[in-house]
Amino acid sequence: MTASGDDDGAVLDLAEAWLGEGRLVALATVVRTWGSAPRPVGSHMAVAAGGGFAGSVSGGCIEAAVIAEAEAVLADHRGRTIDFAVGDAQAWDFGLACGGAISIHVAPLEPALLAALQAFRRQRRPVAVVTDPASGVHALVSGDGVACGGLALAGDAVARVRVMLGDDASGGIDGGLFVRSYGPPWSLVIVGATHIAQALAPMAALAGLTVTVVDPRRAFATPERLPGVNLVVGWPDEVLAADPPCGHTAVVTLTHDAKIDDPALAAALRSPAFHVGALGSRRTHARRLERLAAEGFAESDLARINGPVGLDLGGRAPGEIAVAILAEVVAARYGRRLSPSPVG
């Protein structure tokens, strides 16, 4: 059972657009892996009738074969599960000779199912889609209800699915059912539209994070300096109060200005944000901790702040610092604690 990433959200969005154009769409999903499989359980690839695909189930190894299966699914409207393993005669062609093996379920994507799923995603509400691969019937399970699409679930199964949903995990459960969890999007709030933010924001977006840059200084927070980025001109503590960080949110402060950074860090520490980081030297960070301690934050709270933010990669240029920060955020997302940067 593997926690699935949220980079497949773009796949679902494109599939929704294709369905809106009246095109049929097949959705391929990794439902099981063994050994050195290249993509985690839950990974999606959408294939549209008439051409076009998005996403990946193997990083490029078997996509051509999966597309062919998807086209067959769209022709006969019947889902199927296909296996690729090192023992296959085509293993070398599929790129799985390193010992990996995967099972992929390919089925027509039902517009009603996708519409319901997208509604949950847009409200940032966690939801799991439970599918019986043999029949194709499904149910949507959230924290406060079950919306059935033909699949009846016993109470113990619903409880198990909700545990998986809380862990943002996808995988099989007893009875041959497959659970695909969709948690809130992983996001990064960058406080300070600085030169480092100019590098960090696009990098983080490429890594699959939803990025927001907050800065009360209008001269800094301009579309010209950060094109294509969600910019919010405002005091970060007020912005974070209006849209509180959740367990899928990282908050990083970059301004070196205590009037801006400290309130943002205080708001982040009062939230379940999975990563809190602050730019600045060790001396600057020590003074920062003193100020926050004076505001009543306990030592255990202050220990959550990664300062100086970023892994110790040795770089000093803005882009290099951005890489170090993003690396630390990714490590935190996956529960790894690595060595921080010695300086900010």
- Model confidence at 170: pLDDT above 60: yes
Across the range 165-184, mean pLDDT stands at 92
Structure tokens at 129: 């889609």
CA distance 229 to 221: 10
Are 271 and 245 spatial neighbours (Cβ–Cβ below 8 Å)? yes
CA distance 227 to 207: 17
CA distance 318 to 335: 26
Are 226 and 198 spatial neighbours (Cβ–Cβ below 8 Å)? yes
Q: How open is the CA angle 165-169-175, to the nearest 5 degrees?
A: 85
Percentage above 70 pLDDT, the chain: 90
Are 319 and 199 spatial neighbours (Cβ–Cβ below 8 Å)? yes
- Model confidence at 69: pLDDT above 60: yes
CA distance 139 to 165: 14
Across the range 157-166, mean pLDDT stands at 94
| Residues 308-334: tens digit of each pLDDT | 999 999 999 999 999 999 999 999 998
Q: What is the pLDDT of residue 5?
A: 46
| Residues 213-250: tens digit of each pLDDT | 999 999 999 999 999 999 999 999 999 999 999 999 99
CA distance 18 to 47: 9
Q: What is the pLDDT of residue 336?
A: 80
Are 276 and 306 spatial neighbours (Cβ–Cβ below 8 Å)? yes
Q: Where exactly are the structural domains of the chain?
A: 2-182, 187-333
Cis? peptide before 38, omega within 30° of 0? no
Beta strands 187-191 and 249-253 are parallel
Specify the higher pLDDT residue, 227 or 150.
227
Specify the higher pLDDT residue, 96 or 159.
159
Q: Within 13 Å of residue 70, how many CA atoms lie on the same side as its CB?
A: 26
| Residues 110-142: tens digit of each pLDDT | 999 999 999 999 888 999 999 999 999 999 999
- Model confidence at 202: pLDDT above 90: yes
Q: How open is the CA angle 131-15-138, to the nearest 5 degrees?
A: 15
> Which residues touch 230 (CB under 8 Å, ≥6 apart)?
210, 211, 212, 213
| Residues 258-314: tens digit of each pLDDT | 999 999 999 999 999 999 999 999 999 999 999 999 999 999 999 999 999 999 999
How far CA 95 is from CA of 34, 45, 47, 249, in Å, comes to 14, 18, 21, 35
- pTM (whole model) above 0.85: no
How far CA 214 is from CA of 21, 99, 139, 237, in Å, comes to 36, 46, 38, 10
Burial 44-57 (b: 16+ CB within 10 A, else e): bbbbbbeeebbbbb
CA distance 43 to 24: 20
Q: Residue 16 CB: number of other CB atoms within 10 A? A: 17
Across the range 149-172, mean pLDDT stands at 92
Across the range 82-106, mean pLDDT stands at 67
Q: What is the pLDDT of residue 98?
A: 54
Q: Would you call 119 helix, strand, or coil by DSSP?
A: helix
Q: Residue 71 CB: number of other CB atoms within 10 A? A: 15
* Overall fold of domain 187-333: Rossmann fold (3.40.50)
- Model confidence at 3: pLDDT above 50: no
CA distance 211 to 230: 7
- Please, what's the largest Cα pairwise distance for the chain? 67
- Model confidence at 2: pLDDT above 80: no
